[in-house]
Amino acid sequence: MTPFPGTDANRPVACGRRTMTGRLARLLAGSSLSALLLAGCGVRPEVITPAEHVQRAQADYTKIYDGYVPVDRPLALPDAIARALKYNYDAQLSREQITLQERQVDLALAGMLPRLALNAGYTARNNDPAAQSINERTKQVSLDYAFSEEPRHVTAGPEFTWTVLDLGLSYYQAKQQGYQSLVAVERRRKVIDEIVRKVQDSYWKATVASTLLPRLKPILARAERILEASREATRRQLSPDMPMLEFQREMTQVVGQLHHIDTNLNDARAQLATLINVPTNVPLALAKTELDRRPSIETADTHRLEEIGLALRPELREEAYKERIDRQDVYKEILKMMPGFGILANFNYDSNKYLYNNTWGSVGVQAGFNVANIIRGPRAISAAKEAVEVSKTRRLALSVAVLSQVNLAYQSYASAMEDLRTSRDILDVERKIGSVSRNARTASSLSDAQLIQRELEEIVAELNYYHNVGLAQYALVTVYMSCGVDLVPPTIELDDLGKMSQDIVGGIAPWASGKLPAVELPEAAPAPQPS
């Protein structure tokens, strides 16, 4: 009788196997330790050297001005907005985020497809996989050492898997991702409007600078000459000290004020150049703009403005999409409570020559239910519904903030218009005083210093008036933004600069003339009255 496995006759073989197994274990342990040491060394961060920082900065600088298009004509406001949108990386980033979200939608839709995997494998060993068979009842050897598998063989075949649960979850995931792409669109609207508001404000300041700087420079030069002459006279003791010193103090204040105005006006041009991607050392010619204009809005009905704001504000639309995203989580949790059902199918090949059938196909159906979902499921559904309620409350809280912003924006606009009217009256008076002063200087009844003082006061009044015009325009744009009105078409393409300018001309015309968008709203309910 063949000895029973584990008797003395088999011990040498068993010892040989244990020795081989021990060597294999030590080899695997050494390999794992080496891999861990190499991995530990590999995760240490490498410090970026100063030379690499300089190289990176040079590459970024080149990239920023790589697509620079020179300004070949006097720059109008639509051209400035077009250049800002084309070269502003926030605008480019918002467009790329929309593209990314749309691709994520395609990826989520692909998750609804069944799983089709191609499997292949190769098995090799250094001897035959022989084994004995033991009779369960008698515990006697019923078959000598034998094998039915080659030491080396190849397996391959496709495997098809499709489950209803994965299909449903992928469906709701795709809907959520679709809403995420719409959220990205609303965020792009906000980014574009903020860029347009900045450009409009900077363009106006630069236009005022282009108008006043040519007049300011000669006055500043004359004031500096008079001040220097006064100091020279003091050094030579040609006049009493106290009156001359008081005169110098007044002229120093005048020169300082003129320098301050000159600096602010030049800063406005530099700020505009930065926004539209024009090097600050490049001369920038602006198109002629009517400075003496008063912006106005076609309605003073703040209740109507509030309704438009609640309908169009990007933040509220974003919250509405987020609520729908959270609602899909409720459906997903309900779906997870249901039993899983799936279909399995595969085709197999095995190069083992001892098999009677080397190729075979199989198909099956499986169903399963996670019993723990009886406890977890209702809690998960309740939490998902609570998230929806939180989204609604958050949107209502933001709606209250939007109503406040609309009213504050309109009040700021009304206050700016009042300041504009006051500054206009002051400018009219200063211009009359300036005309009288120039006539007096012609009649030699007014000194150069006194004339410069009058001209400075006139320029300050004019600058203050144009500044208030700009504030009124900025306040008007803020009213439109608080109502969610798009200052330029939100779908504008950023590729062709000339086409962008043409589209923006029509886009800015309504809000530049104070017109509100034609928003289809239900008949306005009466405004709530305080009790």
Phi, psi of 200 (to 5 degrees): -60, -45
Please give, one letter per residue, the 3-state secondary structure of 292-330.
Answer: CCCCCCCCCCHHHHHHHHHHHCHHHHHHHHHHHHHHHHH
Confidence label for 379 from pLDDT (cuts 50, 70 and 90) = very high
Q: Is the pLDDT score of 431 beyond 90?
A: no
Closest CA to 81 of 186, 184, 194: 194
Highest mean pLDDT range out of 223-227, 294-298, 492-496? 223-227
pLDDT at 17: 42
Report CA-CA distances (Å) from 182 to 103, 208, 243, 287, 317.
13, 40, 72, 37, 9
Higher pLDDT, 294 or 420: 420
Region 291-308 average pLDDT: 76
d(CA 480, CA 298): 12
pLDDT at 25: 57
pLDDT at 73: 83
Q: Which residues of 154-169 are buried (b: 16+ CB within 10 A; e: fewer)?
A: eeebeeeeebeebebb
Return the half-sphere exposure (C-beta side, CA atoms, 13 A cut-off) of residue 8.
0
Contacts of 184 (CB under 8 A, 6+ apart): 94, 97, 98, 100, 101
Q: Find out whether 265 and 209 touch, Cβ atoms under 8 Å.
A: yes
Percentage, residues of the chain above pLDDT 70: 84
Q: Rg for the chain (alpha carbons), in Å? A: 40
pLDDT at 95: 81
- Taking the CA atoms of 145, 146, 152 and 156 in sequence, report the sign of the dihedral they define: negative
Highest mean pLDDT range out of 231-235, 319-323, 523-527? 319-323
Reported as a single tens digit per residue, the pLDDT across 438-451 is: 777 666 656 677 77
Would you state the structure tokens that stand for residue 358, as one six-digit string?
A: 């080397």
Q: Is the pLDDT score of 130 beyond 60?
A: yes
Percentage, residues of the chain above pLDDT 90: 13
**Residues facing residue 360 across a β-bridge:** 348
d(CA 82, CA 496): 9
Higher pLDDT, 322 or 144: 322
Q: Find out whether 206 and 286 touch, Cβ atoms under 8 Å.
A: yes
Reported as a single tens digit per residue, the pLDDT across 192-222 is: 889 888 898 888 888 888 888 888 888 888 8
Closest CA to 428 of 454, 456, 465: 465
pLDDT at 526: 46
Contacts of 37 (CB under 8 A, 6+ apart): none
pLDDT at 10: 41
Region 127-156 average pLDDT: 84
40 CB-contact burial (10 Å; exposed 0-12 / middle 13-18 / buried 19+): exposed
Least confident of 19-23, 137-141, 162-166: 19-23
DSSP state at residue 358:
S
d(CA 28, CA 32): 6
Q: Domain residue spans in the chain? A: 76-512
Region 474-481 average pLDDT: 88
Would you state the structure tokens that stand for residue 217, as one six-digit string?
A: 């420079």
pLDDT at 15: 42
Q: How many CB atoms are closer than 10 A to CB 127?
A: 7
pLDDT at 520: 53
Q: Is the pLDDT score of 506 beyond 90?
A: no
Pinpoint the alpha helices (H) of 149-294.
164-235, 241-275
3-class DSSP assignment, residue 334: helix
Average pLDDT over the chain reads 80
pLDDT at 159: 87
Helices and strands (DSSP H and E) totals, the chain: 11, 6
122 CB-contact burial (10 Å; exposed 0-12 / middle 13-18 / buried 19+): exposed
Report CA-CA distances (Å) from 139 to 143, 309, 467.
12, 86, 105
Q: Find out whether 322 and 183 touch, Cβ atoms under 8 Å.
A: yes
Would you state the structure tokens that stand for residue 62, as one six-digit string?
A: 């080149």
Topology of domain 76-512 in CATH is: Outer membrane efflux proteins (OEP) (1.20.1600)
pLDDT at 284: 83
What element of type H or E holds 378?
A: helix 373-442
d(CA 430, CA 458): 5
Region 322-340 average pLDDT: 91
Q: Find out whether 310 and 316 touch, Cβ atoms under 8 Å.
A: yes
- Please state whether beta strands 152-163 and 340-350 pair in parallel, antiparallel, or not at all (unpaired): antiparallel
Reported as a single tens digit per residue, the pLDDT across 224-258 is: 887 787 777 777 765 556 777 777 777 788 788 87
Q: Whose structure tokens read 């609602």?
A: 327
d(CA 382, CA 334): 10
Reported as a single tens digit per residue, the pLDDT across 25-81 is: 566 666 666 666 655 555 677 888 888 888 888 888 777 767 667 788 888 888 888
Reported as a single tens digit per residue, the pLDDT across 441-477 is: 666 656 677 777 777 788 888 888 888 888 888 888 8
Q: Find out whether 468 and 266 touch, Cβ atoms under 8 Å.
A: no
pLDDT at 234: 74
Q: How many CB atoms are closer than 10 A to CB 280?
A: 12
pLDDT at 494: 74
Reported as a single tens digit per residue, the pLDDT across 380-429 is: 999 999 999 999 999 999 999 999 999 999 899 889 889 988 988 998 88
Q: Find out whether 161 and 119 touch, Cβ atoms under 8 Å.
A: no
Reported as a single tens digit per residue, the pLDDT across 18-37 is: 444 455 556 666 666 666 66
d(CA 180, CA 97): 10
- Please state whether beta strands 359-368 and 141-146 pair in parallel, antiparallel, or not at all (unpaired): unpaired
